[in-house]
């Protein structure tokens, strides 16, 4: 035992790691440990105090941020499909807007396309229906004209209400005309001219006796009126297609609430 103690002491002296300059490699100084631990405690206390001082709304926002980021980075399949269809609709509508302004490829035909669109406007149709109603002398003719007037008024109110709800702008920044402001047709969805043309053509096909060429021309007129609104840059393709659908639904509604001849005569006598 006495011989082993001097040997272990000699070994410790010869060990390089036991020198003072290498002590920090084996065992950190207590002062450093205490400073680090105190720094961690202070930062932890500061974070806890900040969390306590923050309002519950900020805490909820900080907790919701990761979920919102995940929602944006991983959209659903329906969202991707809807955004893709919307982008295609906007792109195709802009390409088909060949008469949107004078500098467009078909800018010279803009006045003619506008004239075609006026044939599907509500104000000329209401004025023409009232004139025909005044000049009509048959009960059947007055019944048809009164129900057509009802259909035109319903079309204006329904389209104006839907446009106020959707508030969708057209593919081009084009200000509505005076007639559009009178019928409150200031937004793009749904297309009022398309719904009116579809409703009128279906109404005439059901309640007027027309030859086959006239029936074909009536359908072609409705299609041309609808897509003329795309050509001048006022509506998207989906606006026109939805206008056709709403026009058919309005016709079905008028058929359900069809006014009889006695009701029409009573209204005419009051007027």
Distance CA 132, CA 44 (A): 86
Query: What count of residues does the chain have?
Result: 271
Confidence of residue 80 (pLDDT cuts 50, 70, 90): confident
Rounded average pLDDT over 124-138? 91
Q: Is residue 236 annotated as a catalytic residue, yes or no?
A: no
Rounded average pLDDT over 125-133? 93
Rounded average pLDDT over 32-41? 50
Q: Of the residues 121, 207, 235, 236, which is catalytic?
A: 235
Q: Residue 25's pLDDT is what?
A: 46
Distance CA 215, CA 235 (A): 26
pLDDT tens-digit readout, 188-244: 899 999 999 999 999 999 998 889 999 999 999 999 999 999 999 889 999 999 999
Q: Of the residues 121, 193, 207, 236, which is catalytic?
A: 193
Residue with tokens 């005309």: 177
pLDDT tens-digit readout, 3-14: 555 555 655 555
Rounded average pLDDT over 21-33? 48
Peptide bond into 190 cis (omega under 30): yes
Rounded average pLDDT over 137-146? 90
Domain range summary for the chain, segments of one domain joined by +: 107-270
Distance CA 237, CA 182 (A): 24
Distance CA 127, CA 133 (A): 10
Q: Residue 77's pLDDT is what?
A: 74
Q: Is residue 193 annotated as a catalytic residue, yes or no?
A: yes
């Amino acid at each position: 035992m006495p011989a082993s103690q001097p040997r272990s002491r000699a070994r410790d002296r010869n060990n390089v790691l036991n020198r003072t300059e290498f002590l920090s490699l084996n065992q950190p100084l207590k002062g450093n440990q205490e400073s680090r631990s105190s720094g961690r405690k202070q930062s932890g206390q500061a974070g806890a105090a900040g969390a306590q001082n923050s309002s519950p709304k900020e805490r909820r926002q900080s907790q919701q941020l990761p979920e919102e980021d995940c929602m944006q980075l991983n959209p659903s399949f329906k969202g991707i499909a809807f955004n893709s269809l919307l982008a295609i609709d906007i792109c195709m509508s802009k390409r088909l807007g060949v008469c949107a302004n004078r500098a467009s490829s078909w800018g010279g035909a803009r006045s003619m396309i506008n004239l075609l669109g006026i044939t599907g406007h509500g104000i000329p149709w209401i004025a023409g229906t009232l004139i025909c109603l005044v000049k009509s002398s048959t009960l059947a003719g007055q019944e048809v004209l009164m129900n057509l007037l009802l259909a035109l008024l319903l079309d204006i109110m329904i389209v104006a209400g839907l446009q106020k709800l959707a508030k969708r702008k057209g593919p081009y920044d084009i200000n509505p005309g005076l007639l559009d402001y009178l019928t409150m047709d200031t937004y793009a969805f749904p297309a009022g001219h398309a719904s009116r043309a579809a409703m009128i053509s279906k109404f005439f096909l059901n309640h007027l006796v027309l030859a086959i060429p006239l029936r074909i021309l009536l359908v072609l007129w409705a299609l041309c009126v609808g897509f003329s609104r795309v050509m001048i840059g006022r509506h998207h393709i989906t606006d026109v297609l939805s206008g056709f659908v709403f026009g058919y639904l309005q016709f079905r509604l008028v058929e359900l609430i069809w006014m009889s001849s006695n009701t029409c005569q009573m209204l005419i006598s009051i007027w």
